[in-house]
Amino acid sequence: MCTPASSTLTQSSPPAAVAAYADATTDVLPIDILQFHILTRLDGPTLAAASCASTQLRQLSAPDTMWAGVCRSTWPSTNDPRLLELISAFPGGHRSFFSDSYPHLAVSGQDSVDAGSLAPAEIISCVDIRHRGKLIFSKAVATETTTAWFKCSPFRVDMLDPKEVVSTPVPYPDTDHACGQLGDCLTLSWIVVDPAGQRAANVSSRRSVSVIRHWLSGEVHARFAAVLPGDRRSSSKFVECGVVVICGGCRGEDLQVREVSLQVENMDGKFLNGRESLGILRRALAARRRTPPGGCSEGDEGRRMHEEFQRMKMERKERRMRAEGALDMICAASGLFFLMVPLVLWVLTFCR
C-alpha cells in the first residue's frame, strides 16, 4: 500500500486531488525541511506552482527572502542595494516583481494607463545575458525621463559606454553557421522597472530573433524583440522594442560584448522619441501578462511575433508606395493636361 508521499499525480488529476496530495506531503515531511531545504531549491515557476497547490504550501513559500533569492538567481542584475530596496517596497515584494517580470506581455492594444498617474522621473533597466544558461553579462542602468533632451530625442538606452567592452568565455563565431548556433544559445532578459509606480516588465523576446555577422567589420549583431501595443495612430498601432547586442572579436579569440541597446520602432521603421517611448513602456508596465501558447517555446513565440511585425511593416510600406505611385500618376497626368491645353488652343487659333 502506497503512502501519500509516494503516490503520484498526473497532469489530468483534478485540483482537489492535487491539493490533497500537497497536504499529505506536508504532513509527512517536517515543515523546516520542506521550507528551507526543498522550496528554496526550486526555480521561480516551480515555486509559484507549488504555492498554488495548497494553503500550507502558499504560507511556506510566502517569505520575501525566498523570492528575493529566486529573483537574484534568475536575474543577477537585480542584486543591487538600491534595486533590492525598491523591489522590497513593491506591494508583494519580490514575489510581485517576479510575477511582473517573468511572464510575457500580452499584445492586445486594449491596455491603458491611468490618466491621473504621473510619468516616472526615471526608469531602471536590468539586463542579463546568458550563453547556454551561463551568465556572460549583467548590469542595471537608470535613465532620467524628465529632461527635454530625453523627451525630444530618439529613445535609446545603452547599457555600455562607447569604449566599454565586456569579455566573455564564449568563442568568437567566424562563420555564418557558427553565428546561427550562437543565436540558439543566447538568452537575454531586459526588465524595465518603474520605481515610482512599483511595477516591472520584461520587454525582451528572451531568445534572439536574428543573428547576423557584419560583412565588413565581422561584428556579430544579435537582435531580441518584443512586439507591444502602441497608440491609436496607424503607424504606431503596434511597436517593437528592439534590443541589439553587438559583439566583436577575432578568429580563435573570445567574444566581446561591445554594445547592448534598446530602441522602440513603429511600423514605418521610425524610432520613437523619449516621450512616445515612455508612453509605450508605461502601457507595457500596466499590460496583462501571459504564457506562450501551448506547444510554443519562448524563442518560437518571439520569432513569430517579430516576423508578424515585419510582415505588417512590409504591407504598410507597399500600401504607401502604391499610394505614392498613384499620386505621381495623377500629378504627371495633370501636368500633361495643363501643358497640352495651351498647345491645343494655339493650334486651333492658328488653323483659323
- Model pLDDT for residues 72-87, shown as the tens digit of each residue: 999 999 999 999 999 9
**How confident is the model at residue 156, as a pLDDT?**
96
**How confident is the model at residue 70, as a pLDDT?**
93
- Point out the least confidently predicted range of 52-56, 83-87, 290-294: 290-294
Write the pLDDT tens digit of every residue in 149-208. 999 999 999 999 988 999 999 999 988 888 889 988 999 999 999 999 999 999 998 999
Q: Give the pLDDT band (50/70/90) at residue 25.
A: low
Please give the Cα distance from 263 to 121 (Å, whole number).
19
Could you tell me if 50 and 39 are in contact, meaning their C-beta atoms sit under 8 angstroms apart?
yes
Q: Give the pLDDT band (50/70/90) at residue 24.
A: low
C-alpha cell belonging to residue 32: 523546516
Highest averaged pLDDT of the listed ranges 5-19, 42-56, 94-108, 217-231: 217-231
Please give the Cα distance from 240 to 305 (Å, whole number).
9
The residue whose grid cell reads 496583462 is 288
Q: Give the pLDDT band (50/70/90) at residue 260.
A: very high
**How confident is the model at residue 1, as a pLDDT?**
38
**How confident is the model at residue 50, as a pLDDT?**
84
Cβ contacts of 258 within 8 Å, gap of 6 or more: 160, 165, 219, 246, 247, 248
Could you tell me if 234 and 270 are in contact, meaning their C-beta atoms sit under 8 angstroms apart?
no
What average pLDDT does the segment 235-251 reach? Answer: 89
CA 110 to chain centre: 18
Residue scoring higher pLDDT (21 or 281): 281
Cβ contacts of 47 within 8 Å, gap of 6 or more: 39, 61, 66, 67, 70
Q: Give the pLDDT band (50/70/90) at residue 11.
A: very low
Please give the Cα distance from 92 to 64 (Å, whole number).
8
- Point out the least confidently predicted range of 23-27, 219-223, 321-325: 23-27
- pTM for this predicted structure: 0.81
Average pLDDT, rounded, for the chain:
83
3-state secondary structure the chain: CCCCCCCCCCCCCCHHHHHHHHHHHHHHCCHHHHHHHHHHHCCHHHHHHHHCCCHHHHHHCCCHHHHHHHHHHHCHHHCCHHHHHHHHCCCCHHHHHHHHHCCEECCCCCCCCCCCCCCCCEEEEEEEEEECCEEEEEEEEEEECCCHHHHHCECCEECCCCCCCEEEEEECCCCHHHHHHHHHHEEEEEEEEECCCCEEEECCCEECCEEEECCCCCCEEEEEEEEEECCCCHHHCEEEEEEEEEEECCCCCEEEEEEEEEEEECCCCCECEHHHHHHHHHHHHHCCEECCCCCCCHHHHHHHHHHHHHHHHHHHHHHHHHHHHHHHHHHHHHHHHHHHHHHHHHHHHHHC
Q: Is the pLDDT of residue 340 over 90?
A: no
Of the candidates 159, 154, 186, 197, the one whose C-alpha atom is nearest the C-alpha of residue 284 is 197
- Point out the least confidently predicted range of 18-27, 52-61, 90-99, 317-326: 18-27
Q: Is the pLDDT of residue 295 over 60?
A: no
Q: Is the pLDDT of residue 320 over 90?
A: no
Residue scoring higher pLDDT (307 or 230): 307
Please give the Cα distance from 121 to 108 (Å, whole number).
27
What dihedral angle (degrees, nearest 10) is formed by the CA atoms of 4, 8, 10, 12? -30
What average pLDDT does the segment 340-350 reach? Answer: 74
Q: Is the pLDDT of residue 294 over 60?
A: no
What average pLDDT does the segment 221-250 reach? Answer: 87
Residue scoring higher pLDDT (201 or 32): 201
- Point out the least confidently predicted range of 88-92, 266-270, 294-298: 294-298
Could you tell me if 224 and 190 are in contact, meaning their C-beta atoms sit under 8 angstroms apart?
yes
Please give the Cα distance from 333 to 94 (Å, whole number).
66
Q: Is the pLDDT of residue 126 over 90?
A: yes
C-alpha cell belonging to residue 191: 526588465
What average pLDDT does the segment 221-230 reach? Answer: 90
